[in-house]
Chain A
Amino acid sequence: MKSLGFVRSFRIILTSLICLSGATGCTETDAPDQATQTTISAETPKSSDQQPAQQSSKKVVAQSIDRPAAGLQPPDPAPQFSDIAPLAGIDFRYFEDRVPGRFLLPEVMGGGAAWFDVDLDGWQDLYLANGAVLDPKPDSPPVPGNRFFRNRGGQQFQDKSVEAGSDDRGYGQGVMAGDYNADGFPDLFIANYGNDVLYCNNGDGTFRNVTADAQIGDPHWSTSGVWLDLNDDDLLDIYCANYMNVTLQNNQVCYYGDKPGYCGPGKYDGVHDAVWLNAGDGTFRDGADETGLTAPGSKGLAVTAIDLDRDLRPEIYVANDMEANLLFTRTSTESGATGWREVGQQSGSAVSGDGVNEASMGIAAADYDADGLPDLYLTHYYQMKNTLYRNLGGLLFEDDSLRTGVAATSFAFLGFGTIPLDYDRDGRPDVFVANGHVLGPAIEPNSMPPQLLLNTGSGFRDISEYAGPYFLDAWLGRGVAGGDFDNDGDTDIAVSHIDRPMALLRNDTEVSTGFLGLQLTHPARRSLVGTRVRVTSEGLALEQTLAGGGSYLSTNDSRLLFAVSGPEADLEIAWPDGTVEKHADIKSGQYVNLRPGHKPEACVR
């Protein structure tokens, strides 16, 4: 907390404290096995290495750049998203247990969503965190637990919440899918306001609660997290952000003018994040000190793991609410032991370009400027800008929000969940943002429309008005997960709201380019986060890095989607161990499973 500053710009620090601040089943392809393996340097590439990506960017830009940057003309192609949740059999409304006059902060933070393929049938299933009664009494009405919807062929979902045994009744916040026991089936870590839960996937579409056996017993207010091998033992560990110490006992009510509302992060103490190291025997241990992943007093709401410096080893970026964001990168000692160190401040990604701790809620990491380096898009509080930390290489960032229009398109909104998606398949990641205020219904503005931001190549343009009826309505958007649930090669969006049912936004945009989807799996089920893939088709090269976590409280579809202009594409995959494989002439318009040292295999659709 800062004192009153000497110039008005610094008062923002104080006044801001009133705010919250938040498949396998594969078969052989007919493509010849042209994989070759070489070892590449784990460094930022030389300029010649980056050239193809830059060229590709220019080429793609040329396809759609001939329109006014100011956005007077409709985007081409026009985005079209349809909310099909009820039609698809998804009837879910987050239970936040809002009690009039109580203003207990968890009531307005919402819940997350996760796309993952529970039974490896090639279709992304959907898991949704639900709230619970925060102050239960003997006569409190029963509340459904978390919900689990099985994807039946990309058209319909079946509610399997109870049958699957994964309907945790805690106050659900975040959902993280990851295969911690390396049996090939993704498991679930549920971050709660209260004790977290670990569900082990039985492989038959059901789960069992293994929290006690796993010795994961964090009672703090957990939010978002990521499964990752944090200590190089080839086992999936968990980094889970914790938010603040808010209880029924220390809860406070703040006044905005004469109206009571929820207090922001300035009123509560932050809680250190949780680091759970997988022992390999079904148990976990606290590993914050052991790994160097310490975040004392931070107020974490979102986490992503992504390779930001092209060394094929992911960094961990933590978005904190009104505290400096954290960037952890690998470090190694002379003895060869590896750990992590926090470099957020020196990297320029901890605070905004003018040095302000922003109220960070969600993260959408992608290479927005096609320079081969993933950038970080962060959602923030109402009337504060969202921020684009442009990756300069070498773990240096600049706040490029003003030049790119990210600031101008965000002042009127309070953003939560956010994902990158290439809605128009032009090769440039666009951005979806779920918005909605947190102070309560008595204080305007409250509900807000979501946003679809078109990446023009030089910046972002808000094209929400063209994207469909959902975008013209106002919501209290929270958790967002992107996934291609109908396997048609574009990203659909699950949005969890407060006060209203969740939305499943099917991307119905008509595009002329094709796609290639990639599912990366390791034979030994090791983490492949950090893998870098380049897809080249008809001279157009696009590159993506496999990330973990991101958005807000949610898990995105882990498959990589590429825009492909020709019928076939060449692949170059740099795996985290440094080996590089090349595969030529992979047929586009399909999902392909990629495993180190193996031929690509077409996935079942």
Chain B
Amino acid sequence: MSEHVRSTQGRVLRWTLWGLPLILAVITFFGWQKWADERAVSSLAAGKQYLLERRDEMAEAAFDRYLSRFPDDADAILLWAQAVISGKSRTPEQAATIAIQRLQTIPDAVKQGAEARMREGRLALLVLKQPDLAEKKLTRSLELDATPVDAHYLMWKLYDLTERFQYAEPFFWSTLERTPKDLRSVRLADWYVSQFSPNSGNAELDRRLGFLAEGQYNSDDVVLARLAAFHENEPKAISTTIARAAFLIHLRDREAAEELLTEVSKDAEAPQNVFFLATWIDLLLDLGKLDEARSWFDRWEAPKVGFLYHRTAGRILQIVDRDDRGAVTQLNMALEVWPGPVDWSILHFRAQSEARLGQRDAAAKSRARAKEIELLMELDAQQTLRRSLLDLNRRENLGVMAEFYRQLNRPGEAAAWEQLQADLP
């Protein structure tokens, strides 16, 4: 054989010796990949099935297997988080913590980003009892995609649970818009109870959060325990501190509230926090510290809009500046924003400035309107409403609710209840 032949044979042999394993390796690799993919896919399917069957630990393991193969699959992470939370092998707090850690790996930019942030928010609020974290997550979720209803509803409830009823209204409306027609009566009832009977409105969530035992009625003690827990869980979050202080003011423990709010006042974010500014200035006025109240009002860096701003501005102008015309203007603006239309104290404030301005008739009208609203809050009137909520399939009950809101000059709610009436078969 010629050298050439030998050389060719040698190359073939070398290729065979080296190439074949390589080819085999490649084939094996791709085969393994395919197998792994198939196994992962099969795990995903199994996981989903386990979830349906409420075999949560097995579902978690299955999703784990899948995610070890496809760690960036956002849908799978969402499922995994669901399995983790549903599982019984960890405490709820442990489960929520690791679920949030993994949900955080889903970037904002992917289409599941909004859902992930919403779930993080829900877990933070309802399991970890960290409303400040929850608020950040839910806000981000809404920024990414405001279409789904969940984040809207959770924001409404978050504000209710943290004494910020004034902020809830837009989230009620956005929730209602996204609620199927057949459930809207429930949402409207929920809205009524949450605003006019906040303890009752929060009772179910307080039970879920572990602050209220089954069969027990909600009370101020429960609310205080909830707010204290929020504060202790997020001691550096000023929103939880303010919420606790606001409720202490409601309980008339101004001393404890002042201590908490004094700490918050040292926070650089304080002048941007509307809830703090309004609560703190109100307390300072109560305590006769008018100069300090004025000074904090001057430091108001938050947007100068909304119920709390206009209410606070009205009070500062009335009590400190004795600028009654300015006070009336601001209080009128507060009356335009929820809960202004039903907050009869604003009308009483306005009446005082009107009286000082010599506007006797205007003052009388303000006080008369305040009385009308107050009468709508009488226990008898409210019990009639609550009885109506017991059967939302009765046309007359829906009419009672619509009439209540008409008397409050709340055409939106009145129309929503009327629509329910119209939709009844």
By a beta-carbon cutoff of 8 Å, the part of chain A in contact with chain B is 1-12, 15, 345-346, 348, 351-356, 383-385, 392, 394, 396-399, 402-403, 405, 407-409, 411, 459
Give the chain B neighbours of A399 by CB distance below 8 A. 352
Interface residue from B220, B370, B377 paired with A3 (Cβ < 8 Å): B377
Contact A2 B374 (CB under 8 A): yes
| Chain B window 374-388, contacts with chain A (Cβ cutoff 8 Å), 1 for yes, 0 for no | 100111011100000
Chain B residues positioned under 8 Å from A15 (CB to CB): 220, 251
User: Are A402 and B285 in contact (CB-based, < 8 A)?
Assistant: yes
- Of the residues A7, A356, A396, contact of B165 by C-beta under 8 Å: A7
Given A397-B355, A408-B286, residue A351 in contact with residue B197 (CB < 8 A): no
A383–B252 Cα gap in the complex (Å)? 6
Partner of A407, one of B288, B345, B352, B383: B288
Within 8 A of A (CB), among B359-406: 360, 363-364, 367-368, 370-371, 374, 377-379, 381-383
How far apart are the CA atoms of A6 and B196 in the complex, in Å? 4
Across the interface, do A4 and B246 meet the contact criterion of CB distance under 8 Å?
Answer: no
Verify if B290 is at the interface (C-beta below 8 Å from A): yes
Which residue on chain A has the smallest CB distance to residue B194? A6
> Would A355 and B345 be within 8 Å (CB), given that A2-B378, A403-B319 are in contact?
yes
Q: Is the CB of B367 within 8 A of A346?
A: yes
Is B56 an interface residue, CB under 8 A from the partner?
Answer: no
Given A2-B377, A408-B287, CB of A9 within 8 Å of CB of B367: no
Partner of B374, one of A355, A385, A411: A355
Whether, in the assembled complex, B420 has its beta carbon less than 8 Å from a beta carbon of chain A, the answer is no
Task: For residue B383, give the distance in angstroms from its CB to the closest CB of chain A.
Answer: 8
Is the CB–CB distance between B367 and A392 below 8 Å? no
Contact mask for chain B residues 294-316; partner A; CB cutoff 8 A; 1 contact, 0 none: 00000000000000000000000
Contact flag A5-B286 (CB < 8 Å), given A351-B348, A399-B352: no
Q: How many cross-chain pairs have Cβ atoms below 8 Å apart between A and B?
A: 119
* A3 CB contacts on chain B under 8 angstroms: 196-197, 377-379, 381-383
Contact string against A for B residues 194-236, beta-carbon threshold 8 Å, 1 for contact and 0 otherwise: 0111111000000000000000000010000000000000000
Q: How far is the CB of A106 from chain B (nearest CB, A)?
A: 26
Smallest CB–CB gap between A254 and chain B, Å? 14
Task: With both chains docked as a complex, state the minimum distance between the C-beta of B339 and any C-beta of chain A, in angstroms.
Answer: 6
Q: Are A353 and B196 in contact (CB under 8 A)?
A: no
Interface residues as binary, B339-351 with A (CB distance below 8 Å gives 1, 0 otherwise): 1001111011101
For B288, the closest partner residue in chain A by CB is: A408
* B254 contacts across to A, CB distance below 8 A: 383, 411
Question: Which residue on B lies nearest to A399, using beta carbons?
Answer: B352
Is B166 located at the chain interface by the 8 A CB criterion? yes
B57 in contact (CB, < 8 A): no
- A398 contacts B287, C-beta separation under 8 Å: no
Q: Interface majority SS on A: helix, strand, loop or mixed?
A: loop
- Please state if A392 and B356 are interface contacts (CB–CB under 8 Å): yes
Question: Does the CB pair A7–B355 fall under 8 Å?
Answer: no
Cβ-closest chain A residue relative to B199: A4
A407-B286 contact in complex given A4-B197, A6-B339, A353-B352, C-beta closer than 8 Å: yes
The answer to whether A346 and B339 touch (CB under 8 A), given A4-B199, A11-B250, is no
CA of A349 to CA of B318, assembled, Å: 17
Contact check, A405 vs B288: say whether CB atoms are below 8 A apart: yes
A394: nearest chain-B partner, CB-CB: B360
Contact assessment for B379 and A1 in the assembled complex, using a CB-CB cutoff below 8 Å: yes
Q: Which one, A6, A345, A409, A459, contacts B198 given CB within 8 A?
A: A6
CA distance A405 to B284 in the complex (A): 11
CA distance A402 to B319 in the complex (A): 8
How many angstroms from the CA of A195 to the CA of B367 in the assembled complex? 38
Q: Given A4-B197, A402-B288, A405-B288, verify A353-B250 contact (CB < 8 Å).
A: no
Cα of A383 to Cα of B257 in the assembled complex, Å: 13
- Complex: A11 Cα to B383 Cα, angstroms: 16
A-B contact pairs, 20 of them (CB 8 A): A1-B379, A2-B377, A2-B379, A3-B378, A3-B381, A6-B343, A8-B250, A9-B345, A12-B250, A348-B352, A353-B352, A354-B345, A383-B254, A385-B286, A392-B355, A397-B355, A398-B352, A402-B285, A408-B286, A459-B288
B286 touches A8 (CB 8 A): no
Residues of B within 8 A of A1 (CB): 378-379
What are the residues of chain B within 8 A of A403 when measuring CB–CB?
288, 290, 319-320
Which chain B residues numbered 258 to 291 have a C-beta less than 8 Å away from chain A?
285-290
Q: Is the CB of B379 within 8 A of A396?
A: no
CB distance from A401 to the nearest CB of B (A): 9
Cα–Cα, bound, A353→B252 (Å): 17
Q: Give the chain B neighbours of A348 by CB distance below 8 A.
A: 351-352, 355, 363, 367
What separation, in Å, do the CA atoms of A588 and B392 have in the docked complex? Answer: 78
Residues of A within 8 A of B197 (CB): 3-4
User: Which chain B residues border A408 with CB–CB below 8 Å?
Assistant: 286-289
Which residue of the partner chain B has the closest CB to A397?
B355
Contact B349 A354 (CB under 8 A): yes
Question: Chain A: which residue is nearest B383 at the CB level?
Answer: A3
A394 to B364, CA, bound (A): 13
A9–B342 Cα distance when bound, in Å, is 12
Q: How far is the CA of A2 from the CA of B376 in the complex (A)?
A: 9
What is the CA–CA distance of A595 and B26 in the complex, to the nearest angstrom?
124
Q: A3-B379, A8-B163 are in contact. Are A355 and B370 (CB under 8 A)?
A: yes
B247 beta carbon closer than 8 Å to chain A: yes
In the docked arrangement, what's the CA distance between A394 and B349, Å?
A: 19
Contact B247 A8, beta carbon cutoff 8 Å: yes
**Whole-angstrom distance between the Cβ of A399 and the nearest chain B Cβ:** 7
Q: Are B246 and A8 in contact (CB under 8 A)?
A: yes
Contact across chains for A345 and B286 when beta carbons are under 8 A apart: no
**Cα-based distance from A116 to B254 in the complex (angstroms):** 42
Closest chain A residue to B324 by CB distance?
A398
Determine if B200 and A4 form an interchain contact, defined as CB atoms under 8 angstroms apart. Answer: yes
Q: Are A384 and B252 in contact (CB under 8 A)?
A: yes
- Residues in A with CB closer than 8 Å to B360 are 394, 396
Which chain B positions have C-beta within 8 A of A411?
A: 252, 254, 286
A4 and B198 within 8 A (CB): yes
Whether the Cβ atoms of B196 and A345 lie closer than 8 Å is no
Is A402 a contact partner of B220 (Cβ separation < 8 A)? no
Of the listed residues B344, B352, B381, the one surrounded by the most CB atoms of chain A closer than 10 A to its CB is B352
Residues of A contacting B381 in the complex (Cβ-Cβ under 8 angstroms): 3
Contacts A385-B286, A402-B319, A408-B286: A353 and B378 contacting too (C-beta < 8 A)? no
Q: Given the complex, which residues of B lie within 8 Å of A409, measured CB to CB?
A: 288
Q: Which residue of A lies closest to B287 (CB)?
A: A408
Q: Once bound together, how far apart are the Cα atoms of A337 and B364, in whole Å?
A: 26
Closest B residue to A324 using CB positions: B371
- A294 and B76 alpha carbons, distance in the complex (Å): 74
In the assembly, what is the distance between CA of A525 and CA of B17, in Å?
136
Give every chain A residue within 8 A of B252 (Cβ-Cβ): 12, 383-384, 411
Provide the residues of chain A in CB contact with B200, threshold 8 Å. Answer: 4
Among A354, A355, A392, A399, which residue has the most Cβ atoms of chain B within 10 A? A355
Complexed CA–CA distance, A15 and B250 (Å): 9
Assembled-state Cα–Cα distance A12/B252 (Å):
9
Q: Which residue of A lies closest to B282 (CB)?
A: A9
- Distance in angstroms from A601 CB to nearest chain B CB is 43
Q: By the criterion CB–CB under 8 Å, are B163 and A346 in contact?
A: no
Which of these, A5, A355, A397, contacts B196 with CB under 8 Å? A5
Chain B, Cβ-Cβ closest to A357: B374
Docked CA distance A411–B256 (Å): 13
For residue A385, which residues in chain B have a CB less than 8 angstroms away from its CB? 286
Q: Are B364 and A353 in contact (CB under 8 A)?
A: no
Chain A contacts for B342, CB-based, 8 A? 6
Q: A348 to B252: give the CA distance in the assembly, Å.
A: 24
Complex contacts, B166 vs chain A, CB 8 Å: 7
The 4 closest A-B pairs by CB, nearest first: A408-B288, A3-B382, A383-B252, A355-B348
In whole angstroms, how far apart are the Cα atoms of A459 and B368 in the complex? Answer: 30
Task: Tell me, in angstroms, the Cα distance from A167 to B363 when the chains sit together.
Answer: 49
How far does the alpha carbon of A383 sit from the alpha carbon of B251 in the complex, in Å?
9
Quick one: given A8-B163, A394-B360, are A353 and B348 in contact (CB under 8 Å)? yes
Nearest residue in A to B364 (C-beta to C-beta)?
Answer: A346
Q: Which of B183-200 contact A (CB under 8 A)?
A: 195-200
Query: In this complex, what residue of B is CB-closest to A381?
Result: B252
